[in-house]
Amino acid sequence: MARFKLYPSILSADFAHLDKQIRESEKCGADGIHIDVMDGQFVPAITFGSPIVEAVRRSTDLPIDIHMMTIAPENHFKELIEAGADSITIHYEACHDVKATLEELGKHSVQKSVAINPATPVESISNVMGMIDQILVMSVVPGAGGQSFIPESLTKIAILSDQIKAQGLSVSIQVDGGINSTTIADTVNSGADILVAGSAVFNDSFSICDGLSKLRDID
């Protein structure tokens, strides 16, 4: 099976022990840290901003991957990058002009990514594939943790993987939502490069090391 990366999502972390859990994630083999920025408008929830990004940056040298579930994401690019972000994902559905938003993001030294919701066809982002470093396929409806993986996401991942290879692009496929030891193998086999996992890593029932190890231990 192809090598894949695991990015724990701090949406499921224990914030009373965030520094400890970030450091343990790095020690136990995480490849990056995923931070969901929600504005209460594009999605109902309100979550993290630049102070949390700064705190995570102090705790780890791993890549910090920002998933912006916000309208007008360009208003926050500078502060998030200054806080320590290494990659920023914008949502196709949240932008009036995705290409223009990516051009604005391109003014900064950061990896560029576009996310698509479960109901959004892959064709929607065909005109920006050459502008991005990563595509984030949402395998749940964005806005809350603990949801079940949507099986139809596998077809979308496979189509994107074929398109990236056919066009000779260097674009990673990240998948976020419902990733656990049951769903990860099919997701990787479909073409995913980076898997975001929340409760499968940060969970009171087992250690972070055990969670990451179980996700790695697939056929």
The pLDDT value recorded for residue 142 is 87
Indicate if 36 belongs to the active site: yes
Catalytic residue among 39, 65, 176, 193: 176
**pLDDT tens across 87-134, in order?**
999 999 999 999 999 999 999 999 999 999 999 999 999 999 999 999
What was the pLDDT predicted at 42? 94
The pLDDT, as a whole number, for residue 152 is 96
pLDDT averaged over every residue in the chain? 95
176 is a catalytic site residue: yes
Q: What is the pTM of this model?
A: 0.95
Structural domain boundaries, residue 49: 5-216
Check residue 144 and give its pLDDT.
Answer: 67
Write out pLDDT tens, residues 16-54: 999 999 999 999 999 999 999 999 999 999 999 999 999
Query: Annotated catalytic residue: which of 31, 36, 39, 193?
Result: 36
- % pLDDT > 70, the chain: 97
What total of structural domains would you count in the chain?
A: 1
SS3 string, the chain, reads CCCCEEEEEHHHCCHHHHHHHHHHHHHCCCCCEEEEEEECCCCCCECCCHHHHHHHHHHCCCCEEEEEECCCHHHHHHHHHHHCCCEEEEEHHHCCCHHHHHHHHCCCCCEEEEEECCCCCHHHHHHHHHHCCEEEEECCCCCCCCCCCCCCHHHHHHHHHHHHHHHCCCCEEEEECCCCCCCHHHHHHHCCCEEEECCCCCECCECHHHHHHHHHCCC
CATH classification of the domain holding 50: 3.20.20.70
The model's confidence at residue 145, banded by pLDDT at 50, 70 and 90, is low
